[in-house]
Amino acid sequence: MSDSGFDLSGKVAVVTGASRGIGEAIAVRLAKAGADLVIASRKTEGLDETAATIEALGRKALIVPTNTSNKDQVYALINKSIETFGGIDILVNNAATNPHYGPLLESEDSHWEKTIQVNLQGYFWAIKASVPSMQKRGGGKIINVASIAGLHSLAWQGLYGITKAGVIHMTMTLGNELGASNIQVNAIAPGFIKTKMSSVLWQNEGLANKMIAQTPAGRIGDTEDIAGVALFLASSASNYITGQTLVADGGITNVYTS
């Protein structure tokens, strides 16, 4: 590696929601840095392609289909990771859902239950299952993918934003509680990134142009913009950072607050 501070050789990383989008990009970026990967998503579609890319880089890839709204499946994912590789060094909680796009008062109980289970409880279960292994290995890195919707109210994304605000607070709390174990817990808050989940936004030309006009970077982000931040948080370069949320949004939240 050109910079040993970003070398993940010998590390084992678990990435949820790794079949496409941000999760796939993060998994591949960590593999390029030398990590072996456990990749998970609710559906196996896409995981084979992600695994093939990782293995082409000379790293190992274990596929574990997982519905992160199911506690037993989350624990099975972590246990399988430990059984296969001997432990976990890096956990990236990325799997997410957004079943309700519209006014918050029009959301239904089923929307709340599903969004909380996947976006918040699923993250917590994965962390709780992974921490004992990290403690045995002398430390670890936990990266929670949040959203700028957890920092600011965004139109029609109230329920999603509520869960992402919860992720940010959970990150702060666990950053404090796990610091003594040399486990750094941080979050990434992406802005508008071109993924399948956000297609309702960027495929609307009028809305996309409005977002681009409001973004100082002058563009919608791509998944590699987030993968680079994840590599930093997964590496020893971030050892003195914990309980923080790094915003990667092209500067648009500066516009919201100015």
What residues are paired with 142 via a beta bridge? 91, 185
Instruction: List Cα–Cα distances, 22 to 72, 77, 229, in angstroms.
Output: 24, 19, 11
pTM: predicted TM-score of the whole model, two decimal places: 0.94
Q: What is the pLDDT along the chain (258 residues), one digit of tens a residue?
A: 445 789 999 999 999 999 999 999 999 999 999 999 999 999 888 999 999 999 999 999 999 999 999 999 999 999 999 999 999 999 999 999 999 989 999 999 999 999 999 999 999 999 999 999 999 999 999 999 999 999 998 888 889 999 999 999 999 999 999 999 999 999 999 999 987 665 566 566 677 777 788 888 988 889 999 999 999 999 999 999 999 999 999 998 887 665
* Residue 75 known to be catalytic: no
Q: Which of 75, 101, 123, 160 is catalytic?
A: 160
Q: What is the pLDDT of residue 163?
A: 97
Q: What is the pLDDT of residue 154?
A: 85
Q: Which fold has domain 4-193+223-248?
A: Rossmann fold (3.40.50)
